[in-house]
A and B are shown apart, each in its own frame.
Chain A
Amino acid sequence: MTSTVTPVRSKRSALTKGQLPKYAPYAVLGAALIVGAAILALIGFNAFGWGVVSAILFAVGLVSWSAVVEGSRKAKDRLATCLVVGSFLVALLPLISVIWTVLVNGIPGLLNPGFLTNSMNGVTGAFDNKAVESGAPVLGGIYHALLGTVQITLLATVISVPVGLLTAIYLVEYGQDGRLARAITFFVDVMTGIPSIVAGLFAAAFFFVVVGPGTKTGAVAAVALSVLMIPVVVRSSEEMLKIVPNELREAAYALGVRKWRTILKVVIPTAISGIASGVTLAIARVIGETAPILVTAGFATSINTNVFGGWMASLPTFIYTQILNPTSPSNPDPSSQRAWGAALVLIILVMVLNLVARLIARIFAPKSGR
């Protein structure tokens, strides 16, 4: 009888009675991995199946052990924990898979000489056929698409930032929660939910009416992207302006400074780091938009530096067309290599923008004197 050995021992066992030992999850995990490997070995081994089978065995084993020792309440708690952790792991799968796929397929395209400095001008299916059949280098690159993306995004930023920032200022400083301010807040929220392709159709329809049917230029695409970008800029700037302490405004008013000078010289400089990082995130969001550019700027294969005239390529539409309509329909491999290379460049761009946004927010955060 363990309870009669020493009084200290018996006290400890009374406290920990009805609990699984600390090592229980690890023991069950180990057992599940071994049994899972054994089962998979019988029906043909693959890593994904091993993970799934082991996870199920782990959950069943741990929960039933807990049900026997700890009772049904603790067992339910362990089941919930298993499900919650499991859902997180499931959510990681596509992230890892996407990044892995893009890296594996994209690096050969990216390392291709001239990929970043050449356009697709003059690259025909004949070259791609030759590349596949005789091993000639894959020609063509994404220079025109990169240039188009930068131009369109820059123009969209130039349109969106003033409008978005001024609206945010109106909402925080002038609106006073009136009917108009509430209407703007509501419709900005609604605008956040506009499908990107509808924004593209709007810009297209607008320019069809104003300029003429079939108008497709970089500027139309920039307008479409602005429709998507403005609500993001408004929301983030509004949040940033709201957290500027009121004491700063009151101090400025007390010194006799006009309201507009107060906003320009006191409020905005205080909030600038947050606003800048919000704008960067908004750029990161629209730079990968495909559908609105597809319906507004068409797709070009050559360099176009004029935003206001002619079709313009962009990275997302380049990826889309290279996959859907390969340059050489009989040999799609060079096209898909270019598409994955472009996808890698696009992901790197977006990640860098996200990183920059975080750095801006951290480095230029206002020094709080208190």
Chain B
Amino acid sequence: MTATSLTSTQGAGRTGDKVFSGATLAAGCLILAVLFGVALFLVVQAIPALTAPADKIQGGQGFFAYIWPIVVGTLIAAVIALVIATPIAIGVALFISHFAPRGLASGLGYVVDLLAAIPSVVYGAWGAAFLAREISPAYGWLAGNMGWLPIFEGPASATGKTILTAGIVLAVMVLPIITSLSREIFLQAPKLHEEAALALGATRWEMIKMAVLPFARPGIISAVMLGLGRALGETMAVALVLSSGALTASLIQSGNQTIAAEIALNFPEASGIKVSTLIAAGLVLFVITLAVNMIARWVITRHKEFSGAN
């Protein structure tokens, strides 16, 4: 009798337990389903563009002739952004973690986080209205003095709305991401190693070179990869800043286009096969960023296992 009374009083609670754990499980599975759904629905909507006859696609030469110039354009913009942002971001992260006075460090970190809080469309507007105008004389100088390099071949764009400007705006946008991740890693560097280096008479830079950077290298690599993912997928900065066109090697002429900007500029007015083409372009972008992010996460988890951090 006691056994039954026990189970009966617990009955209600047990139902609650089951419902609640079921709900949490369902929410978790929903996330997996959403990610799967993203891939599935993009594929379903993209199939018409992939199977359509070549002359129906924009440009008239089939989907792959349409997509490869903008894939290359996307990569160019992202590479410019990373080349500019990575050294500065590592410098800023080192400044906050090892150079700034203790009391200031968290406040300075917040200042850099402010950069991440500014919406991308505002960066785009800033790039188009301010940066492009201010930087165009520099492009004229580059075309005049460095024009023998294919990437600086003239005539330079008079408006400054070039892929290089877009890349600089992207660099500003990925800077806080790389900074905050590298800062975390730098702060995790073993204190004992740092103190040992200093005790042996190393200067601060030698200490950082010997104790901090080797420890942080995988973390920096993955931070850069995550920044790359962001730079590849960023839309507004490019859509507003770049006056797009055909693929060109010169970074200071107008021309080139990225996948995300191509979608944003054309999707609102698109219909029929054009919608499919743009969704297929989005699928390509999704696959590229997914691969980049997965590699970054893999580097992080692999690093976690042997560092003993966390």
Which of chain B's residues have a CB closer than 8 A to the CB of A199?
A: 38
A189 touches B233 (CB 8 A): no
Separation of A14 and B131 alpha carbons in the complex (Å): 53
- For residue B156, CB closer than 8 A to chain A, the reply is no
The proximity string for A residues 193-235 relative to B, scoring 1 for CB distances below 8 Å and 0 otherwise, is: 1111111011011101100011000000000000100110010
Given contacts A87-B95, A91-B175, A180-B28, contact A189 B297 (CB under 8 A): yes
Which of chain B's residues have a CB closer than 8 A to the CB of A190?
A: 35, 290, 293-294, 297
A320 touches B28 (CB 8 A): no
Which of chain B's residues have a CB closer than 8 A to the CB of A208?
A: 45, 275
A209 touches B41 (CB 8 A): yes
Closest CB-CB distance, A321 to chain B, in whole Å? 9
Separation of A88 and B27 alpha carbons in the complex (Å): 42
Separation of A289 and B240 alpha carbons in the complex (Å): 14
- For residue B118, CB closer than 8 A to chain A, the reply is yes
Which of chain A's residues have a CB closer than 8 A to the CB of B208?
A: 80
B297 touches A186 (CB 8 A): yes
B129 touches A105 (CB 8 A): yes
Given contacts A101-B130, A289-B120, A294-B264, contact A198 B91 (CB under 8 A): no
The residue that A195 contacts in the complex, of B37, B119, B129, B232, with Cβ under 8 A, is B232
Separation of A289 and B260 alpha carbons in the complex (Å): 13
A77 touches B205 (CB 8 A): yes
- For residue B308, CB closer than 8 A to chain A, the reply is no
| Nearest A-chain residue to B271, judged by Cβ | A214
B31 touches A195 (CB 8 A): no
The residue that A290 contacts in the complex, of B108, B129, B235, with Cβ under 8 A, is B235
B17 touches A196 (CB 8 A): no
| Nearest B-chain residue to A180, judged by Cβ | B28
- For residue A50, CB closer than 8 A to chain B, the reply is no
Given contacts A202-B37, A295-B263, contact A194 B286 (CB under 8 A): yes
A173 touches B125 (CB 8 A): no
Which of chain A's residues have a CB closer than 8 A to the CB of B130?
A: 97, 101
A187 touches B121 (CB 8 A): no
The residue that A87 contacts in the complex, of B28, B92, B115, B263, with Cβ under 8 A, is B92
The proximity string for B residues 102-126 relative to A, scoring 1 for CB distances below 8 Å and 0 otherwise, is: 0000001001101101111111111
The residue that B121 contacts in the complex, of A83, A91, A205, A288, with Cβ under 8 A, is A288
Interface residues of A in 274-310 (CB under 8 A from B): 284, 287-291, 294-295, 298-299
Which of chain B's residues have a CB closer than 8 A to the CB of A254?
A: none
A194 touches B45 (CB 8 A): no
- For residue A188, CB closer than 8 A to chain B, the reply is yes
- For residue B59, CB closer than 8 A to chain A, the reply is no
- For residue A351, CB closer than 8 A to chain B, the reply is yes
B235 touches A291 (CB 8 A): yes
Interface residues of B in 251-310 (CB under 8 A from A): 260, 263-264, 267-268, 271, 275, 278-279, 282, 285-286, 289-290, 292-294, 296-297
The residue that B108 contacts in the complex, of A88, A192, A201, with Cβ under 8 A, is A88
- For residue A258, CB closer than 8 A to chain B, the reply is yes
B129 touches A101 (CB 8 A): yes
Closest CB-CB distance, A59 to chain B, in whole Å? 13
Which of chain A's residues have a CB closer than 8 A to the CB of B285?
A: 195, 197-198
Which of chain A's residues have a CB closer than 8 A to the CB of B38?
A: 194, 198-199, 202, 227
Separation of A24 and B171 alpha carbons in the complex (Å): 34
A350 touches B27 (CB 8 A): no
| Nearest A-chain residue to B260, judged by Cβ | A197
B28 touches A227 (CB 8 A): no
Separation of A351 and B297 alpha carbons in the complex (Å): 30
Q: Which of A29-37, A107-115, A125-133, A338-346 contacts B (4 or more CB under 8 A)?
A: A338-346
A170 touches B235 (CB 8 A): no
Q: Which of A15-23, A134-142, A159-167, A359-367 contacts B (4 or more CB under 8 A)?
A: A159-167
Closest CB-CB distance, B52 to chain A, in whole Å? 16
The residue that A201 contacts in the complex, of B204, B263, B290, with Cβ under 8 A, is B263
> What are the 8 tightest A-B residue pairs by CB atom distance, in nearest-first order?
A195-B233, A288-B119, A87-B91, A166-B27, A193-B293, A170-B24, A260-B20, A77-B203
Q: Can you give 12 A-B contacts (C-beta < 8 A)?
A: A95-B115, A95-B118, A98-B122, A190-B35, A190-B290, A193-B292, A195-B286, A198-B42, A209-B41, A260-B19, A290-B120, A295-B263
Beyond A166-B26, A234-B31, list 16 extra A-B contacts (CB 8 Å). A84-B91, A95-B118, A98-B123, A98-B126, A101-B126, A180-B28, A191-B35, A193-B292, A195-B232, A196-B235, A198-B38, A290-B235, A316-B236, A323-B124, A336-B129, A346-B119
- Interface of A with B (CB < 8 Å)? 73-74, 76-77, 79-81, 83-88, 90-92, 94-95, 97-98, 101-102, 105, 162-167, 169-171, 173-175, 180-181, 183-184, 186-199, 201-202, 204-206, 208-209, 213-214, 227, 230-231, 234, 258-261, 263-264, 284, 287-291, 294-295, 298-299, 316, 319-320, 323-324, 336, 339-340, 343, 346-347, 350-351, 354
